[in-house]
Chains A and B, each alone.
Chain A
């Protein structure tokens, strides 16, 4: 299991907004315990997916010069749920971006149905540490996550297209 809670970006407008999808499948171990006889995507992992969408949006704006961590969820409301076979669409809009961190508004949908919406605040941990301590970015989950931006692209970096 790798800590990827989005499968692919479907839209990415630098410094503005991003949209990512997460396909929910019964192959995921946790759905068999959450909940027995009623598999639904855990709200906490949907939140993580929205945070990954928004966190990469913020990180990319600064060319990944900062280590971005989820600092606070001031508001998050779950209106519905997602089950195996659903495609969750996470949308994030960047509403603040500055040296110390940033903030996004996020939504999760399945089709037209709103599953969740809220706000997430991120901090730049390098700034929070006052520049005195350095984090090894190679070992940091955020750096690994960036690879999701390449999903669906062709080998030459051009936007990929699905097989005909």
Chain B
């Protein structure tokens, strides 16, 4: 099983290729959208590359769940994530960095949900997949 550092290096390489970044732009706490400029379609490309680079299969919605909040889910109200929504996020994103979920809980704007998608989250996901 690769070490966490080895996983991080490979994730970094993957993101550099998928997003056209420089090596030094990717840190463990970088947010994929806000810091690294990923757009929604890039998540598909990232999943393709992770599967090839790590030789694993990543089922749809496991790493980057789509449509977390449908209109009638009760997970968001008036542009803010509800307690129910936060609980759902903890359930659906067990690989998310706990600190980022706490940050979301203190400022639960729906647009902040995408800040959960960090490099660390991807590394956590792969570490549990590869163990």
Contact = CB atoms under 8 A, between A and B. Distances in A.
A71 B41 CA distance: 7
Contact of A74 (B45, B52, B66): B45
Given A74-B17, A98-B60, A130-B67, A103 B48 contact: yes
B87 interface: no
A59 B44 CA distance: 17
Interface SS, A side: strand
B60 A72 contact: no
A123 interface: yes
> Interface SS of chain B: helix, strand, loop or mixed?
helix
Contacts of A71: 41, 44
B52 A101 contact: no
Contact of A72 (B17, B41, B52): B41
B67 A72 contact: no
Contacts of B17: 74-75
A71 B48 CA distance: 13
B35 interface: no
Is the interface on chain B under 10, 10 to 19, 20 to 34, or 35 or more residues? Answer: 10 to 19
Interface string B53-82: 000000010000011000000000000000
B51 interface: yes
B9 interface: no
Given A100-B44, A103-B45, 5 more contacts: A74-B18, A74-B45, A95-B52, A96-B51, A121-B44
Q: Which 9 A-B residue pairs are closest in the complex by CB-CB distance?
A: A96-B48, A71-B41, A121-B45, A103-B48, A72-B41, A101-B44, A100-B44, A72-B45, A74-B45
14 contacts: A71-B44, A72-B45, A74-B18, A74-B45, A96-B48, A98-B60, A100-B44, A100-B60, A101-B44, A103-B45, A103-B48, A121-B44, A121-B45, A130-B66
